[in-house]
Structure formats: C-alpha cells, structure tokens
C-alpha cells in the first residue's frame, strides 16, 4: 500500500471527526511514514510499519476527547427561613433604601446648584448685551460701557461655571456609583 492510499483510507475512516482533527491525524501519520522513509525504509515498508488504516483510525478515535456538554447550575429554591427573614426585615429595608435615596438627592444638589450658576451667568451675559445695546441706542454711553463690562464678567463666569459644573458632575457620578455599590454590598449574599 502506498502512502497516499494509506492516508486516503485513514481520512475516510475518520470522517466523523472535525476537519481540524482529521488534518492533524493525517499530518501525524504522513510525518511518521516520511521519517521511516528517511531512515532507509521503502514506502511500502514504512506504510506497513504504521499499521493498517483501520487500526490507526481506532487508535485516533480512542485518543480524541469527547466534548462534555456544559451543565447549567440549577437555581436553588428559596427556603422558608429566607422568605420569613425577608418579610420580617422589609420595613428596615424600606427605611434603609429611603435613607440612601435621601443621600443621593442631597448629594446631587451640589451639581444642580453649579449648573444653575452656569445658566444664570449665561443669562446675565445675554442681559448685559441687551442692556448695553439699549443704553447706546438711548445715548447713555457710560451705562452702555458698564453693561458691556458686566457682560464680559458674565461670559467669564459662564466659562468658569461650565467647567466647574462638568467636573463636579463627573465627580458626583463616580461618588454615586461608589455609594450605590456600598449600599447594596451588605444585602448581597456571599458568593455572588
């Protein structure tokens, strides 16, 4: 039997395996036959030394691991004690979460105030522009310059409050996540 005949017969017997496993097995036996031929054997002697394609296929199939299906863990049914404790502690949980909610509301007042300062400084800048233009139109140039000066102050404060509001909002968002994780942590079961 030639090497090509041996490899074709082996590939036919391994048809149930994946293409990767078949290619890996054929490469192994082809290399084995080539090594024996390099050692001085003829092609027929090297193929005969490899054994029959049936025996080779049985050996390969015996050594290929069979994939095990993944098992899905079963959820445990809540027992009576756990349900009783949940009912008994529900008033405390309501108070606990109410306090956490109050903490969030109190914390978020700071970013709301900073955003309000930003909006009011923008409104002041717009009002200053309108007042300055009106003053110049009425012939009161001194008041017009004063309003335009206040407009520049309003624009400067708007820029300052905008960046402050963004920074405060980001900081309070991170703080809120940290507080939320800390508030839920005592209620989680160990192992989750």
27-56: pLDDT as tens digits: 988 999 898 888 888 888 888 888 888 888
Put simply, whether the predicted model's pTM sits higher than 0.75 gets the answer: no
**CB-based contact 111:162 (threshold 8 Å):** no
Distance between CA atoms of 137 and 132, rounded to whole angstroms?
A: 9
Q: How far apart are CA 3 and CA 48, in angstroms?
A: 10
Task: Give 15's pLDDT tier (boundaries 50, 70, 90).
Answer: confident
Chain centroid to Cα 99, Å, comes to 30
**What is the separation, in whole angstroms, between the first and last Cα of the chain?**
62
Structure tokens that stand for 140 in this block: 């009161």
Residue 174 is predicted with a pLDDT of 92
46 and 3 in contact (C-beta within 8 Å)?
A: yes
Residue 167: its pLDDT value, please? 95
Rounded CA separation 136/134 (Å):
5
């Amino acid at each position: 039997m030639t090497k090509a005949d041996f490899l074709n017969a082996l590939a036919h017997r391994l048809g149930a395996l994946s293409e990767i496993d078949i290619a890996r097995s054929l490469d192994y036996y082809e290399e084995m036959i080539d090594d024996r031929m390099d050692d001085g054997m003829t092609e027929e002697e090297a193929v005969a030394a490899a054994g029959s394609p049936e025996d080779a296929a049985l050996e390969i199939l015996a050594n290929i691991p069979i994939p095990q299906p993944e098992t899905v863990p079963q959820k445990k049914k809540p027992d009576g004690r756990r349900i009783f404790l949940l009912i008994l502690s529900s008033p405390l949980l309501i108070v606990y979460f109410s306090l956490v909610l109050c903490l969030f509301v109190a914390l978020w007042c700071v970013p709301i105030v900073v955003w309000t300062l930003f909006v009011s400084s923008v409104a002041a800048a717009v009002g200053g522009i309108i007042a300055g233009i009106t003053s110049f139109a009425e012939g009161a140039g001194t008041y017009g310059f004063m309003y335009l000066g206040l407009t520049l102050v309003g624009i400067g404060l708007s820029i300052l409050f905008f960046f402050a509001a963004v920074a405060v909002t980001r900081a309070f968002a991170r703080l809120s996540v940290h507080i939320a994780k800390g508030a839920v942590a005592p209620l989680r079961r160990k192992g989750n």
